A and B are shown apart, each in its own frame.
Chain A
Amino acid sequence: MNTHILPQPFEYVEPQTIDEALQYLSEHKEKVKIIAGGTDLLVQMKIGKVSPPCLLSLSKISALRYVIEESGLRMGPLTTFRELQMTPSISKRYTALFEATKAVSTAQIQTMGTLGGNLCNGSPAADSAPPLLVFRGKVKLMDAREERILSLEEFFIGPGKTALKAGEMLTEIELEEVNERTGSAFKKLGRVSADLSKVSIAVAIVRKDDLCKECRIAVGAVAPVPMRARKSESILIGKKIERSLIEKVSHQVSQEISPIDDIRSTAWYRREVVKAMARETIQLAWERAAS
């Protein structure tokens, strides 16, 4: 496999505004592939997995690159992992998301890779997906005529598949508000830190004294899409957190997932290791909610 060249020529357009981009998308639909950071798409093009006749680059649209804090958090899809890391409100309050951006591949990929690109790839292993799910992320999708808002759970449809239609593009990611009683954590297991995950998990807990008031758990790379583990969550909600209970939840997470064998791991290993990861991540989120 020659990854030194992009084998197929393609057209390249670089709109300056969201409107221009949407107009172009509506006129060319399936022919166009959107490029943001390019860290996944260009590799796929080099190995011949995709060969779009036209690339629409978002890099000149600065209106897609922002983080705004107002009640919750609103993020432009072109914001890079590195930019997210540098945002104080993320490192302080959205800890699980902060930890996930740090866990993305390498320094170079964190500089190049964008939040929107990570989601629109539709990878079950997308590092940003579990934390966005536990903060009840929503995505805004626009085409030339209208916009719609979906929960992130509705957005992911299957491996490599999202709810995006031809002519549509992701224009914003929104997270719900968190307060000082919210604690969250993210963990990822890969062969080495630069690898895609075998299993990833995020937990957010809202604590009231000794009780777990709210709990959300999301896992990646263990099902066709990044998913919430709702049955596991319900075990913890309203309960006093104890070791035995966390043990029970971790087994439920293992039951709830539907992992497969692939080049990175096996279904059996994923079911086993997710228990330990769930234990650790729940414990960590719980401790953080307290402090």
Chain B
Amino acid sequence: MSKTKLYPLKININGVWKKAKVAPEESLLKVLREKLGHTEVKEGCGKGDCGACAVLLNGKPVNACLTLALQADQQKVVTVKGIGTPDRPHPLQESFVKRGAIQCGFCTAGMLVSAKNLLDENPNPSRDEIKKAISGNLCRCTGYKKIIEAIEEAAQKIRQTIYDKR
């Protein structure tokens, strides 16, 4: 295989600017996992069906497996680790743990990313809207019921926080 030219990449991940040298054929997913140490982003199907690799790109959910790393140059990426930390988890992360919305855990990173985007845009989603928002995230343990309940509970917590602040 011929050697391809590497390009400089500068990317903001969870609030921190990072640099790497990447080839055009490297996906954002590959660079996140293999060059920048963000193995919390998972790889499932690799063709945009399963959503395990979902990250927020400028606040909106995308599949990192179908994003070229260079397309994300100078952009902001948030992974599941950027949503909350073990010390200060996001209400979604708390609810996922409390409600048992995690079985094997492989879909969880992408699931949380999609749910985060939903609640950012709509803190009072209907059950149907929740299902739509996570329709691109496949859980093969098929624990959807608890996932949906966890998102509902987190939404309620977020609404309460907004209400309390007023």
The stretch among A3-11, A143-151, A228-236, A269-277 that forms the contact with chain B is A3-11
Q: CB distance A112 to B135 under 8 Å?
A: no
The stretch among B19-27, B81-89, B92-100 that forms the contact with chain A is B19-27
Closest residue on chain A to residue B138 by CB atoms: A194
- Best-buried of B70, B118, B133 by chain A (most CB within 10 Å): B70
- Say yes or no for B120: interface residue by CB 8 A criterion: no
- Say yes or no for A108: interface residue by CB 8 A criterion: yes
Chain B residues with Cβ below 8 Å from A189 are: none
Contact of A112 among B27, B30, B62, B118 (CB under 8 A): B62
Once A and B bind, how many residue pairs between them come within 8 Å at the CB atom? 94
Chain B residues with Cβ below 8 Å from A11 are: 5, 24
- Say yes or no for A107: interface residue by CB 8 A criterion: yes
Q: CB distance B136 to A112 under 8 Å?
A: no
Interface string of A17-57 (1 = CB under 8 A from B): 00000000000000000010011001100110000000101
- Say yes or no for A105: interface residue by CB 8 A criterion: yes
Chain B residues with Cβ below 8 Å from A42 are: 27, 66, 68
B43 → chain A, closest Cβ, in Å?
A: 6
- Say yes or no for B123: interface residue by CB 8 A criterion: no
By DSSP majority rule, is chain A's interface helix, strand, loop, or mixed? loop
Q: CB distance A38 to B66 under 8 Å?
A: yes
- Say yes or no for B41: interface residue by CB 8 A criterion: no
B65 → chain A, closest Cβ, in Å?
A: 8
B36 → chain A, closest Cβ, in Å?
A: 17
- Say yes or no for A193: interface residue by CB 8 A criterion: yes
A120 → chain B, closest Cβ, in Å?
A: 17
Chain B residues with Cβ below 8 Å from A193 are: 132, 135
- Point out residues on A near B: beta carbons under 8 Å: 2-6, 8-12, 14, 35, 38-39, 42-43, 46-47, 55, 57, 59, 82, 105-109, 111-112, 193-194
The 10 closest A-B pairs by CB, nearest first: A106-B136, A12-B24, A3-B46, A9-B4, A6-B25, A4-B46, A111-B60, A3-B47, A108-B136, A43-B47
